[in-house]
């Protein structure tokens, strides 16, 4: 007899993790499975912004912008270590949207979404301003506030919270088939080793992102809605300017491109938007996209990046709800549910943004609420994510100073990274002996934490998803991490830890 869960969540991206967390906290018995690592798909391929999406105002997506801005406030409160307020500089120049249009958009942006803790937008003369320094022809511009986040870490700590509240999280475990039988969903899950197991659930949640239609097929459900898959790539280059602010650059095709500070020494530039068909896990950047991003920055910056400066790149596939909009840019970023109740319920999620994941989870549970009447009330808006509690006044900066003081061996740079990545849980990581040092402030204690608490199994999980240390490590250092991983991981159905950078990405220095 297979175990019976209240909820089977298929997909360990941000939306699946958020639903599992919310449901577990409401007292439901939850199983989440992902065919790969957590956040290995779209949820580590984003622009890493918690934002309202200024641009969506142009398309009249007011509901989405309002909800996103309200969520930005909630996330600042519940994940203060991960969500970082950032000033965005929006320079104006020939070919830009008119000053009045931008001003009106920012006016609305400041007012939608209710109470806000970030400063309002303002006009700024960039000619005699350090914010104008990287620009070719600094002139008038605007500054507004939004937030950055490490998308993969946000997903993983959301899953951690779900697990701490009783959810079972199975990574590298695919849903291969599911059918309705005896008033339940009977699902077959398959590990990477090909070993299978059967489980039963009262409700099936399909949070498979770009694979949502594939999972519908595996559950023998009709697809009443469809997805528009849009590929988006980012490049990472050596830091293009000093300062912790970002730029929103208007391109001559009416698109916008962000330049965002990334991991101390780098700048993140993105994104492209191209229609995509095929296997989402095979999506990769091409030379035209790199040229496009370099040119978009070159319209504004005196020293734009060149293709040969690209140190790393990544590509995500947006699973947008197909609303028949003319272009990929105009297609809605809002989410839509498809609830099939022709037997035990199945809820499928189409679309969504990183920013709205928590609210999406609340909405999803409301939709299935009548099938799970014992479920508790909504709670996630008030409860901090792991590492977000017990921060000293002054939050991350104060925590980093405390860690550097209490653990002088790790040094200020690592203390800062640990405070930002793990929040107050960094104290637990540093509590015992640090163990082997792999370089760049990465110690055995942190590696063990990632394996034991965050489901990391391979070098890619560790150096490119849960940390971005792959950017600074040399190949020999990554090899040492791989060797250590293969020693400490329990024998299991895991692929051998490869020390190379993930396929399609630039390798270690
Ligand atoms: C280029 C780009 C930039 C973006 N920028 C932003 C931004 O700045 N801010 C923002 O708010 N949003 C942004 N987004 C949107 C955001 O990233 C996505 O909406 C979000 O990550 C989608 O999460 P998800 O959980 O629905 O899907 P995913 O993260 O793709 O997760 C789906 C998971 O389902 C798993 N899965 C699939 N099939 C199966 C199966 N059979 N069995 C088990 N598991 C399965 C997959 O392995 C995958 O991990 C961006 C997206 C892209 C592509």
Measuring CA to CA, how many Å separate 196 from each of 111, 138, 399? 52, 60, 44
36 Cα: distance to centroid of ligand 1 (angstroms):
12
The set of residues, in sequence order, having a beta carbon less than 8 Å from that of 369 and lying 6+ positions away, is: 375
Q: Which of 414, 438, 446, 449 is nearest to 508 (CA)?
A: 438
Q: Using the atom order of ligand 1, give the atom closest to the CA of residue 349.
A: 26
Helix (H) or strand (E) holding 168: strand 168-170
State the distance from the centre of ligand 1 to the C-alpha of 16, rounded, in angstroms: 9
Cβ-contact 227, 319 below 8 angstroms: yes
The one-character DSSP state at 46 is S
Closest residue CA from atom 52 of ligand 1: 46
Amino acid 212: pLDDT: 96
Mutate to test the pocket of ligand 1, among 159, 293, 354 (most ligand atoms within 8 A of CB): 354
The closest-lying atom of ligand 1 relative to the alpha carbon of residue 68 is 11
- Hey, which residues does 49 pair with through a beta bridge? 148
Q: Within 93-187, where are the H helices? A: 99-111, 151-164
The rounded Å distance from CA 308 to ligand 1 centre is 29
- pTM for the full predicted model: 0.95
> Mind spelling out the 3-state secondary structure of 442-478?
CEHHHHHHHHHHHCCCCHHHHHHHHCCHHHCCCHHHH
Q: What is the pLDDT of residue 380?
A: 98
Q: How far apart are CA 177 and CA 420, in angstroms?
A: 39
Measuring from atom 14 of ligand 1, which residue has the nearest CA? Answer: 46
Cα 215 to ligand 1 centroid, rounded to whole Å: 14
pLDDT in tens, the chain (509 residues): 678 999 999 999 999 999 999 999 999 999 999 999 999 999 999 999 999 888 888 778 888 899 999 999 999 999 999 999 999 999 998 878 888 888 888 888 888 877 788 999 999 999 989 999 999 988 999 999 999 999 999 999 999 999 999 999 999 999 999 999 999 999 999 998 889 999 999 999 999 999 999 999 999 999 888 889 999 999 999 999 999 999 999 999 989 999 999 999 999 999 999 999 999 999 999 999 999 999 999 999 999 999 999 999 999 999 988 877 767 777 778 899 999 999 999 999 999 999 999 999 999 999 999 999 999 999 999 999 999 998 877 689 999 999 999 999 999 999 999 999 999 999 999 999 999 999 999 999 999 999 999 999 999 999 999 999 999 999 999 999 999 999 987 544 433 334 445 544 554 66
Q: Which of 506, 408, 458 is nearest to 171 (CA)?
A: 458
C-alpha of 173 from chain center: 20
Q: From the alpha carbon of 354, which atom of ligand 1 is closest?
A: 11
* Spacing, Cα 335 to ligand 1 middle (Å): 12
Q: Is 371 exposed, middle or buried (CB count within 10 Å of its CB: 0-12, 13-18, 19+)? A: middle
Q: How far is the CA of 45 from the centre of ligand 1 (A)?
A: 8
d(CA 402, CA 286): 44
Question: How far apart, in whole angstroms, are the C-alpha atoms of residue 407 and residue 484?
Answer: 23
State the pLDDT at residue 490.
58
161 close to 21: Cβ distance less than 8 angstroms: yes
**Ligand 1 atom, smallest distance to 233 CA:** 1
**Ligand 1 atom with minimal separation from the 352 CA:** 19
Ligand 1 atom closest to Cα of residue 353 = 19
Task: Please tell me the distance from the alpha carbon of residue 375 to that of residue 371, in angstroms, as a whole number.
Answer: 9
Angle among Cα 113, 98, 53 to the nearest 5 degrees reads 30
Residue 74, CA distances (Å) to 117, 216, 402 in order: 10, 32, 26
The 3-state DSSP class for residue 166 equals coil
Report the Cα 118 to chain-centroid distance in Å. Answer: 21
State both tokens at 404: 């550097």
Distance CA 364, CA 11 (A): 14
* Residue ranges around ligand 1 (CB below 6 Å): 10-16, 33-36, 40-43, 45-49, 174-175, 207-211, 215, 232, 271, 316-319, 352-355
219 CA from centroid of ligand 1 (Å): 20
CA distance 151 to 508: 22
Residue 426 C-alpha to ligand 1 middle, in angstroms? Answer: 27
The per-residue b/e assignment along 37-56, b for 16 or more CB within 10 angstroms, e otherwise, is: bbbbbbbbbbbbbbbbbbbb
Cα 285 to ligand 1 centroid, rounded to whole Å: 17
Q: Report yes or no: 364 and 161 within 8 Å, Cβ to Cβ.
A: no
Phi/psi zone of residue 131: left (φ > 0), alpha (ψ -120 to 50 degrees), beta?
alpha
Cα–Cα distance measured from residue 366 to residue 347, given in angstroms and rounded to the nearest whole number: 11
Which of 41, 154, 227 is the pocket-test mutation for ligand 1 (most atoms within 8 Å of CB)?
Answer: 41
Q: What does the longest C-alpha to C-alpha distance in the chain come to? A: 72
- Confirm if 70 and 353 have CB atoms less than 8 A apart: no
**Ligand 1 pocket test target in 353, 357, 359, 460 with most atoms within 8 Å of CB:** 353
CA of 498 to the centre of ligand 1 (A): 24
Say how far apart CA 396 and CA 393 lie, in whole Å: 9
CB 28 within 8 A of CB 377: no
Angular region, 250: left φ>0, alpha ψ -120 to 50, beta rest: beta
């Amino acid at each position: 007899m297979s175990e019976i869960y209240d909820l089977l969540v298929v997909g360990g991206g941000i939306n699946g993790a958020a639903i599992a967390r919310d449901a577990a906290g409401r007292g439901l018995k939850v199983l989440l499975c992902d065919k790969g690592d957590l956040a290995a798909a779209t949820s580590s391929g984003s622009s890493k912004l918690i934002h309202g999406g200024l641009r969506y105002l142009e398309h009249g997506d007011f509901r989405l912008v309002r909800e996103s801005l309200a969520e930005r406030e909630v996330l600042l409160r519940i994940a203060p270590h991960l969500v970082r307020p950032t000033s965005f500089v929006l320079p104006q120049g020939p070919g830009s949207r008119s000053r009045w249009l931008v001003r009106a958009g920012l006016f609305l942006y400041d007012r939608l979404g209710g109470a806000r803790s970030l400063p309002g937008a303002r006009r700024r003369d960039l000619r005699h301003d350090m914010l104008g320094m990287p620009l070719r022809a600094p002139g008038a511009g605007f500054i507004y506030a939004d937030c950055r986040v490490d998308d993969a870490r946000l997903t993983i700590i959301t899953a951690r919270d779900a697990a701490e509240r009783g959810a079972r999280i199975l990574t590298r475990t695919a849903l291969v088939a599911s059918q309705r039988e005896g008033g339940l969903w009977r699902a077959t899950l398959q590990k990477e080793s090909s070993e299978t197991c059967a489980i039963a659930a009262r409700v099936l949640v399909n949070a498979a992102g770009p694979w949502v239609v594939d999972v519908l097929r595996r559950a023998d459900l009709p697809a009443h809605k469809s997805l528009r898959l849009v590929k988006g790539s980012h490049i990472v280059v050596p830091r293009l300017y000093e300062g912790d602010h970002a730029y929103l650059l208007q391109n001559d095709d009416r698109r916008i491109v962000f330049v965002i500070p990334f991991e101390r020494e780098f700048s993140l530039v993105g994104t492209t938007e191209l229609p995509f068909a095929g296997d989402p896990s095979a999506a990769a950047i091409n030379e035209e996209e790199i040229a496009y991003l370099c040119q978009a920055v070159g319209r504004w910056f005196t020293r734009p990046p060149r293709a040969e400066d690209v140190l790393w790149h990544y590509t995500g596939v947006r699973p947008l709800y197909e609303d028949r909009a003319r272009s990929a840019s105009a297609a809605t970023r809002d989410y839509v549910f498809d609830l099939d109740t022709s037997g035990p319920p199945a809820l499928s999620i189409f679309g969504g943004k990183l920013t709205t994941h928590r609210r999406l989870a609340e909405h999803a549970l409301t939709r299935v609420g009548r099938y799970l009447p014992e479920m508790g009330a909504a709670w996630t808006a008030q409860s901090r994510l792991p590492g977000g509690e017990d921060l000293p006044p002054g939050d991350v900066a104060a925590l980093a100073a405390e860690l550097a003081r209490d653990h002088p061996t790790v040094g200020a740079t690592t203390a800062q990274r640990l405070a930002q990545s793990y929040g107050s849980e960094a104290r637990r990581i540093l509590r015992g002996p640090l163990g082997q040092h792999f370089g760049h402030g990465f110690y055995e204690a942190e590696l063990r934490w990632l394996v034991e608490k965050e489901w990391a199994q391979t070098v890619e999980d560790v150096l490119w998803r849960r940390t971005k240390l792959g950017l600074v490590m040399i190949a020999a250092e990554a090899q040492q991490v791989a060797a250590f991983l293969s020693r400490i991981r329990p024998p299991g159905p895991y692929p051998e830890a490869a020390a190379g950078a993930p396929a399609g990405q630039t390798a270690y220095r």
